Structure formats: structure tokens, C-alpha cells
Amino acid sequence: MSYLTATSIACPNIAFIKYWGNCEPEARIPANGSISMNLGGLHTRTQVTFDSGLASDQLVLDGRPASGPTLHRVSAFLDVVRHIADLALFAQVVSANNFPTGAGIASSASGFAALALAASRAAGLELDEYELSRLARRGSGSACRSVPGGFVEWEVDGCDPDSGAVSIAAAEHWPLGDCVAIVNRGHKPIGSTEGHAIAYTSPIQAARVADAPRRLEICRRAILQRDFDALADAMELDSNLMHAVMMTSTPRLFYWESPTAAVMRAVVDWRKSGLPICYTIDAGPNVHVICLSDKIAEVSERLRRISGVEEVLTAHTGGPASFIL
Ligand code: DP6
């Protein structure tokens, strides 16, 4: 019997400029570029072991054996790695998150970033950061942004099949916080993959995509210059645009709940009164409230007092995915 094993760790990320809709769905080539921040303090840890004694791939997720579509997605990703490495062994994957599922934090980003590192190394590949980012993208688009550290841009150049993400500033450049106001822990009825597939049924998706380079430029510059007001404007506009596309798709996707809107309104009011703070919302009802890292405690406390907010989860600007020896 032969074993090939490796372990890695990766943070989830929150997109400031969102990925929504694909130019090429199979290879997850996005319709527009995106920019995100890694969420330090939260992570997925994954061990991959290719083992000649296995008759199929196996997955243990948060301590429980997984099957069905979850195992199938991981197995399809391992097929990509096996193809590149010219390897014919099945693998055991043991993966665990240190953050709760259903908390409005996409575990697919940290999950496939960690899996890309561990699986490629266990298969004997030595990939550089950009190659690992491109590989992670094949499992989940946003996972490519969890490979590099800090503030990360997923660049697109037309429908480039080599699309991957790069760090535009290290975590230490600008310590920010993400206070996630959890208004519903339940599983979302329609996930991102299905949402991407119907993005272009919205009459406004083309306009959203066409304007993306302008928003990316504003966001990139705001990060580099640590200009919170400019970041807040670009981030809220981008989140609102993505949700406008979702709400006008066929079938319609409406993720917001009443407390979602209450948090958005409170954030805008608090910013007007001088607190540097802004919101962004992914494919779910929970609200990511971005602030300066020294305001995390105050912002969390304020959010907890809003009716309908069940819990507040916090994170700070995080580093790159890495191997654990
Ligand atoms: C709303 O990366 O989860 O969070 O590639 O199908 O796994 P798949 O989609 P995914 O989409 C993320 C959508 C988003 C915005 C973002 O993170 O950019």
C-alpha cells in the first residue's frame, strides 16, 4: 500500500466587489473581476491522503462522513488534481471548519482553497501561488481568492481560462474587521452555483458587468490608499447591484429578510454620524459589516441590539492559505 498525504489551512473571504455570473460555467471563468478580503481567525483545515487501499474517494466533513452532492463535488475536484498529476489513486479527505455552517460565511471558498493546497501537494505537485489559486477556482470560484493573503483581486481578461487571483495588499496593510450580523442560520434555498447560472436572465446583469472595471478601480485604489469612505461607497453599490440582479433574475432570488434591511439602514445611519462602517451581503440574508479593526467590539455590540440579529460573528483581515507540516 502507498500513502501520499498533506495538510493545509485556508481562511474564507468576503467579496467587496462581487463575482456573480460566469463567462464559462464549467471552468468557473467569471463574467467580471472581483476583490475580497480574507477573513482571519476563521479557517478550514484539510488533510488529503491518496491511498492505494481505497476503492473510492471518502470525505469527512466536520467529523461526519459526507456523501451525495458534497462528496461528488470534492471527487470531481480531485479528478482535476489526479489528471494534472497523472495519479490513479482515490483519496480520503478530512476537513473541518472552526466557524459554524449557515453563518453567512461561505465555507466553499476556504474549503476548496485548503483542498487545492493539500490535494496538489499530496499528489506530488509543486504549484506556485497563482497556479494554486487557479486550481482552487475549479472547485469554487471564490476559493481562488482564499489562496493569496490579505486583500485579493481575481483578475479577468475576457474569458481567460487561466484566470486566478493575486494579493493586492498584505493583511498588515490595513487591519479591517468583518462583523457578520446573523439574522438566519438556516440553509439558503438556492446556492451560488445555481445563482450564477441564471445571472444573465436579469436584464441588468450586462450593465452590472460592464460597469465592473470602474468599481474595481475605485475599490483597488481605496484599499491601497486606506480610504474608507471610497471603499464604503464602492462596496455598498456593488452589493446592491448584485442583489438587484438576483431580484430581477428568472426565477427571482430574494435573499433579504426584514432584519437584513434593518441592519443595512442602521449601518448607513451610523456611518453618517461618523463611524467608519459599511455593509456587504452575499447569497443569503446575513449582513457583513466592515469596519476598522479597532471598532470590532463596538460595532458588534451595536449590531446585537438590533431586533432580529441572532448572533454576531467576527473576523479580521487574514493571511494566505498555507501548508501544515
Ligand atoms: C455572492 O464562489 O460560492 O459570494 O463557484 O459556484 O462555488 P461557485 O460560487 P461561489 O460564488 C460566490 C458568490 C458570492 C460573491 C463572491 O464571493 O464574490
197 lines ligand 1 (CB under 6 A): no
Give me the helices (H) in 199-308, please: 205-210, 212-224, 228-247, 258-272, 296-304
Q: Whose CA is nearest to atom 7 of ligand 1?
A: 140
34 lines ligand 1 (CB under 6 A): yes
pLDDT digit string (tens) for 102-158?
A: 666 878 999 999 999 999 999 999 999 999 999 999 999 999 999 999 999 999 888
Q: Are 187 and 102 in contact (CB under 8 A)?
A: yes
- Residue carrying the nine cell digits 479528478: 79
Q: Whose CA is nearest to atom 3 of ligand 1?
A: 192
Q: How many CB atoms lie within 10 A of CB 172?
A: 10
**Whose CA is closest to 230, among 209, 251, 214?**
214
Q: Are 192 and 294 in contact (CB under 8 A)?
A: no
Q: Are 48 and 115 in contact (CB under 8 A)?
A: yes
What structural domains and CATH numbers belong to the chain? 3-324 (3.30.230.10)
33 lines ligand 1 (CB under 6 A): no
Residue 68 φ then ψ, to 5°: 65, -145
Separation CA 213–CA 269 (nearest Å): 28
E strand residue ranges, the chain = 3-10, 13-17, 22-24, 29-30, 34-40, 44-51, 58-61, 64-66, 90-97, 151-154, 165-169, 176-182, 277-280, 287-292, 311-317, 322-324
Q: Which atom of ligand 1 is nearest to the CA of 22?
A: 5
Residue 161 φ then ψ, to 5°: -70, -10
Residue-level pLDDT, tens digit, the chain, 325 residues: 566 999 999 999 999 999 999 998 888 999 999 999 999 999 999 999 999 999 999 999 999 999 999 999 999 999 999 999 999 999 999 999 998 876 668 789 999 999 999 999 999 999 999 999 999 999 999 999 999 999 999 998 888 888 999 999 999 999 999 999 999 987 777 889 999 999 999 999 999 999 999 999 999 999 999 999 999 999 999 999 999 999 999 999 999 999 999 999 999 999 999 999 999 999 999 999 999 999 999 999 999 999 999 999 999 999 999 999 8
Going from the Cα of 32 to the center of ligand 1, the distance in angstroms, rounded, reads 12
Q: How many CB atoms lie within 10 A of CB 265?
A: 12
Helix axes 107-122, 68-85, angle to 10 degrees: 40
**Whose CA is closest to 284, among 35, 101, 149, 63?**
101
Q: Are 153 and 216 in contact (CB under 8 A)?
A: yes
**Whose CA is closest to 53, among 13, 4, 10?**
4
- pTM for the full predicted model: 0.97
Going from the Cα of 318 to the center of ligand 1, the distance in angstroms, rounded, reads 19
* Cα separations in angstroms, 248 against 23, 102, 205, 241: 19, 25, 9, 11
